[in-house]
Every structure is written in structure tokens, then in C-alpha cells.
Amino acid sequence: MIDIHSHILYGVDDGPKHVEESIAMLEAAANEGITEVISTSHASHPQFDVPSNVVIEQIHELKKELDNRQIPVSIHVGHEVRISENIVERCLTGEVHCLANSNYLLMELPSNSIPLYTKNIIRELLLHDIIPIIAHPERNKAIAEKPERLERLIREGALAQVTAGSLAGFFGKKVQQLALDLVRANLVHTYGSDAHHLTARPFLFKEGLSFLEKKKELDSADLLLENNARIIANRPLILYEPELPKRKWWKLF
């Protein structure tokens, strides 16, 4: 299994503080059956902007440690890039990493809103063959209020990533239900842990998949994992037409 969203580099953002914590996280990932991890430290975030060369250097260091300790996990470069008006320029100049050197970019929206220029950014990224994947939309307040806002971004050509912890209930029942609804509406396409720590923000990779199984969404779980593998291979993802329920499901919250 492949995790496309994780904060495993140490001392650079709100992830682990020391190298031993990074190694412990990667060992925990291996114990969950994760074989490949994309490192997605924050970039263009109000608090964190991890340089691309630091990402490369730390991943090289961690790979050596994993080999020495015989931990069977591969690591790839990446960033979780907060949307900004210069995000396209930062991609083209190599200041931020796409996921595993693919054409897919993990793009984060602010927690409470969707900037007015978001559609224009999506269109501009696509013009340069960069496909934005919106990180954890189920935790965005504006999308929670009106999920059709995410549908509009998907129809512009963006993709979306649901978080394991959201499906596992780590962020509460409302987020869990919204995450499930987005899966069922074909509005999320990939699956990531967004792990930051072993305890405060663990992987919960299996727990999220178990929740989908419990809700009889085995095909959806398989699709999300298959698309993760396609990102690593830089291949087109399997997509289905977005299908919002007829009822206004955002009124449930």
C-alpha cells in the first residue's frame, strides 16, 4: 500500500522533531502494511515553507537509516503546498515538489475557506500539465457547509484526497460522515494518512480502510489505493463522474 500524504521529515514543520521520531513513524507505517510513503512537508504555509533541497537531503538521510535498520518502506519526495497566487511559478521553478516527481501536486486549501482565485489556479496548473490534488477537503469548513463547492473544483479538473484519520473518526463524527459522503459521491480520488506523529496524528491507514469495508465501500477502497499507485507511476487516475445526492446533505450538519 502507498501513502501519498505524510509529514515524516523531522524538525521542519509540525511533524516529528527528531530523526528517531521519523524512523519510528516509518516503522509504524511498515507495520500497517504501507510499503511506500510520499513525504509531503508543508510549503507556502503561513507557518512552514520547507525548501525543496531540504526535502531531498532528509529523504536521502532517512533512506540510509531505513536500509541500515532493514525497514521495508520506500520514501518519495513531495510537498503539501498551500494554495497561493504564485503556486504555479513555484512549481515551474522547482521550489516545491510534485508527488514522487509526477505531474500530481498535493494542494492545500485554507481550513475555513476556498480562495476566490482557486478555479483560476486549477486552470493554470492544468495548462502546465500539473494536476492539483486537494488535500483533506472533508476538513475544509466551506466544503463542509456546501459540498457542491468541491464538486465545482473537481469539474474544473482538480482531484481530491481523503484522509485515513477522517474516515477512522479521529476528527469527529461530522468529519467522518462527510468523508464517507465524499467517497460515495465520487468527489475524492486518493487516500493519505496525513500522519504527523505516532500518537497525536498517527497513520490510521488500516482503520480508515476498515471503516470503508464496514460501510460496504470495498470497491471505493480498492479504487483509492489503485489511484495512489498510479500517482507513483505517474499514470492517469481512474475517475468516475461526480454524483451529489439529490438531497441537500450539507444541511445535515
Per-residue pLDDT of the chain (253 residues; tens, 9 = 90+): 999 999 999 999 999 999 999 999 999 999 999 999 999 999 999 999 999 999 999 999 999 999 999 999 999 999 999 999 999 999 999 999 999 999 999 999 999 999 999 999 999 999 999 999 999 999 999 999 999 999 999 999 999 999 999 999 999 999 999 999 999 999 999 999 999 999 889 999 999 999 999 999 999 999 999 999 999 999 999 998 887 654 444 443 3
Q: What is the Cα–Cα distance from 42 to 40, expressed in whole angstroms?
A: 6
What does the CA dihedral 208, 187, 237, 191 come to, rounded to 10 degrees? -20
Q: What gap in Å lies between CA 83 and CA 108, rounded to an integer?
A: 6
pTM above 0.85, yes or no: yes
The rounded distance, in Å, linking the Cα atoms of 126 and 142 is 23
What is residue 244's predicted lDDT score, i.e. its pLDDT? 67
105 in Cβ contact with 125 (< 8 Å): yes
Could you count the other beta carbons within 10 Å of the beta carbon of residue 233? 9
3-class secondary structure, 113: coil
Return the CATH number of 2-252, one of 3.40.50.720, 3.65.10.10, 3.20.20.140, 3.40.50.300. Answer: 3.20.20.140
Domain ranges within the chain, ordered by starting residue:
2-252
Neighbour-count burial for 32-67, b at 16+ CB within 10 Å, e otherwise = bebebbbbbbbbbbeebbbebeebeebbeebeeebe
pLDDT value for 245: 59
Question: What span, in angstroms and rounded, lies between the C-alpha atoms of 156 and 194?
Answer: 25
Measured CA to CA in angstroms, residue 210 lies from 11, 34, 165, 214 at distances of: 32, 15, 11, 6
What's the pLDDT at 243? 76
CA distance 78 to 16: 16
Pull the grid cell for residue 9.
521529515
Identify how many contiguous H helices and E strands the chain contains and give both numbers: 10, 9
Q: Are 90 and 81 in contact (CB under 8 A)?
A: yes
Our measurement of the distance from residue 120's CA atom to the centroid of its chain's CA atoms, rounded to an integer in Å, reads 21
